[in-house]
Amino acid sequence: DQQVKQNSPSLSVQEGRISILNCDYTNSMFDYFLWYKKYPAEGPTFLISISSIKDKNEDGRFTVFLNKSAKHLSLHIVPSQPGDSAVYFCAASRFNGNKLVFGAGTILRVKS
Amino acid sequence: DTGVSQDPRHKITKRGQNVTFRCDPISEHNRLYWYRQTLGQGPEFLTYFQNEAQLEKSRLLSDRFSAERPKGSFSTLEIQRTEQGDSAMYLCASSRREVKGNEQFFGPGTRLTVL
């Protein structure tokens, strides 16, 4: 039962352009949504999160949008940089401090 | 380095052997989590502790798996009678209970290969 889905296994973007990574979820009880970035041989690194009571959160080049009615969230990276090339995971949780449920990840390649 | 550390980074073992992994969380973090990640998948939750209390265990955690956090600081994950299907990356994460947004900090992981 995949509660969090990332349907695009990979995405390729030109440097300087916008990267949009998408995530869908099925459990309407999720309270928090997070994005993590992972480089090879390293653990996931937290990028940005959003509470279910908000529809947008922004941090520098990263913006997360939440559409609760569609059970969909997206991560926008503007402008994309070659160093952003990594695997991006969407995650969700119920209640603060509870376990995270991850999607399968999307490989982002930013071409210079 | 004040991040989450895990030891060993790599472990190769033969089927049927026991293995133990260690995780040292960020010092002021009272919650500690274990996840498992296989190729092409996201991390899957195994178990988590608040201080020394184990609050939740996943169905993935069969009776061959046991985790402890005896003094509410470091944690160990033991797998008994390893099987080839146990080959995966085992990730540890920690957080403060009061953290806004449920941000969890991950260690580099222990890659287990069962031959």
Counting as low any pLDDT under 70, the low residues of chain A are 1, 96-97
User: What is the distance in angstroms between the Cα of B98 and the nearest Cα belonging to chain A?
Assistant: 8
3-state secondary structure of A41: coil
Contact A89 B105 (CB under 8 A): no
Are the C-beta atoms of B78 and B22 separated by less than 8 Å? no
What confidence score (pLDDT) does residue B1 get?
A: 53
pLDDT score recorded for residue A98: 83
Greatest extent of chain B over all pairs of C-alpha atoms, in Å: 42
Query: What tokens were used for B74?
Result: 């470091």
Say what the pLDDT of residue B60 is. Answer: 81
How far lies B29's CA from each of A82, B2, B39, B74, in Å? 33, 11, 29, 11
CB contact under 8 A, B43 and A42: no
Look at the block and give the residue holding tokens 């991040």: B3
Helix, strand, coil distribution of chain A in percent, nearest 5: 5, 55, 45
**A49, A102, A103: residue with CB nearest B102:** A49
Distances (CA, A) of B50 to A86, A99, B9, B47: 31, 12, 24, 11
* Euclidean distance between the first and the last CA atom of chain B, given in angstroms as a whole number: 33
CB-CB contact of A49 with A23 (8 Å): no
Question: Where does chain B have alpha helices with state H?
Answer: none
The residue among A54, A31, A56, A42 whose CA lies nearest residue A89 is: A42
* Beta-strand pair A106-111/A10-14: parallel
Question: Which pLDDT belongs to residue A97?
Answer: 67
Cis peptide upstream of residue A40 (ω within 30 degrees of 0): no
Q: Is B40 on the interface with A (CB under 8 A)?
A: yes
Q: Give per-residue pLDDT as tens, B27-56.
A: 989 999 999 999 999 999 999 999 999 999
pLDDT, residue A1, reads 66
pLDDT of amino acid B100:
67
Per-residue pLDDT tens for B45-100?
999 999 999 999 998 888 999 999 998 899 999 999 999 999 999 999 999 877 66
Mean pLDDT (chain B, rounded): 93
Percent of the residues in chain B that have a pLDDT greater than 70, as a whole number: 96
Which tokens go with B113? 């290969």
Contact A48, A35 (CB under 8 A): yes
Instruction: Residue window 55-74, chain B: list those with CB within 8 Å of chain A.
Output: 56, 58
